[in-house]
Amino acid sequence: MEDVKKGDADTKENGCPISPTHPVGMAGNSLVENSTDDEQDPESSCDDIATKYYEKLWHATDGEEKPEQRLQSLDIDGVASYILDRPCKNIIVLSGAGISTAAGIPDFRSPGSGLYHQLEKYNLPHPEAIFEIDYFRENPKAFYELARQLYPGRFKPTLCHYFLRLLHEKEVLLRSYTQNIDMLERRTGLPGEKIVEAHGTFHSSHCLDCHKEFTIEWIKEKVFAGETPFCTEPSEKHEDVLLPNPGLVKPDIVFFGESLPSKFFQRAEEDFPQCDLLIILGTSLVVQPFSTLVDRVPPTTPRILINNQRAGQVHPFMRMLGIGGGLDYESEDNVRDVFWEGSCDDGCQLLADLLGWGDELKSLVASEHETLESEIDDITAKLAAMPSGDEK
């Protein structure tokens, strides 16, 4: 989940303002859960959190002396040796749509197969409208019909997702930051406290007007029945609402025109100074503020991008002007950035092989997929027996 609209800084009580260039991320998608570890100090100010985030980002990209090179070689072999020899204990992973495409979830912009291409049947004014809060207010049916097709439970996590769980089991994962809303990280068994869903979660939902919270089980029943979910509170709670569809319930995923969860800014403030390796998987690194996370790690921390194409690079002209930031694979000043070209699954399997974990990863994926097979078959059969949104 990159075309964008200006964010509304005051859209959510528990959100923080974002850059005017942020979108939702679906596979760049995803769907997830809140847990007690997500609670924040009620006295904390979202404005203060976001301001501190951007201030530190500015200083992180100021011109500094060339740092030491910690990798034996600027390739995936050098990264594997670094993990084993250091040894790493605080790896952070940034992920996007590319880690979920192998699960059958479309990315957004691939010609002919991307999610935006598939949305043509909904007769939207433009593809991005399905994730715009104003359009959702007026026409929620299109979003919920799409949600029924992409809902958590229909897809198996990929090898790449299980690689994240393996990092956790090896006690080297500090945090996984994802743009996705498909909940596949959670489905691997990766604990909730290890995950930051930058673009929100399907695990909980709220009434847009009275803010009553609803569980994933409640809204899932409505969505699978082809219904548009409305609040269960008495109608008088919404009688002063002058917007379309008063009492409309929306999953806590981030739409265009909404704020990122405050947890994103709070965790970034705590986590990135500790990061000893940054692994970037399947993202184009164009969505802000998520893309700025690559600049939050210490200047000596190695960074590897595993992706089908290069991403996150700053234009040479900007570097010439002394405007730093971004990844740097090719210049003579590069001492830490590595690009591995290929699918996320292939890259993660290769890295696991180099670490001596390859067979363990393959066995984990095979075992987990076998367990999930019958569950997915049941969900698929249930959906096939239900009327489409057009028939409701």
Q: What is the pLDDT of residues 65-121, one digit of tens each?
A: 678 899 999 999 999 999 999 889 999 999 998 999 899 886 665 665 566 666 777
Which residue would you say has higher pLDDT here, 316 or 176? 176
- Predicted confidence at residue 9, as pLDDT, reads 34
- Predicted confidence at residue 216, as pLDDT, reads 87
Between 9-13, 47-51, 171-175, the lowest mean confidence (pLDDT) is in 9-13
- The question of whether 22 is a catalytic residue gets the answer no
- Predicted confidence at residue 298, as pLDDT, reads 95
- Predicted confidence at residue 299, as pLDDT, reads 92
Say what the pTM is: 0.77
What percentage of the chain reaches a pLDDT higher than 70?
A: 73
pLDDT category of residue 24 using cuts at 50, 70 and 90: very low
pLDDT category of residue 64 using cuts at 50, 70 and 90: low
Residue 276, phi then psi, degrees to nearest 5: -110, -5
Mean pLDDT of the chain: 80
Spatial distance between the Cα atoms of 328 and 318, rounded to a whole number of angstroms: 12
Q: In what order do the strands lie in the sheet with 173-178?
A: 195-197, 173-178, 91-95, 277-281, 303-307, 337-341
Residue 19 pLDDT more than 60? no
β-pair type (91-95, 277-281): parallel
Q: Which of 173, 223, 177, 218 is nearest to 197 (CA)?
A: 177
Cα→Cα distances 253→61, 116, 243, 313, 380, Å: 30, 17, 20, 28, 23
DSSP, residue by residue, 258-319: SPEEHHHHHHHHHHGGG-SEEEEES--S-STTGGGGGGSS-TT--EEEEESS--SBPPHHHH
- Predicted confidence at residue 104, as pLDDT, reads 85
- Predicted confidence at residue 28, as pLDDT, reads 41
Residue 196 pLDDT more than 60? yes
Interval 295-321 mean pLDDT? 84
Between 40-44, 83-87, 128-132, 343-347, the lowest mean confidence (pLDDT) is in 40-44
Residue 295 pLDDT more than 90? yes
Catalytic residue among 22, 168, 199, 203: 199
pLDDT tens for each residue of 236-271: 778 777 788 889 999 999 998 788 999 999 999 999
- Predicted confidence at residue 248, as pLDDT, reads 93
pLDDT category of residue 313 using cuts at 50, 70 and 90: confident
- Predicted confidence at residue 67, as pLDDT, reads 80
**Under 8 Å CB-to-CB from 136, ≥6 apart: which residues?**
130, 143, 248, 250, 255
Q: Rounded to 5, what percent of the chain is helix, strand, coil?
A: 40, 15, 45
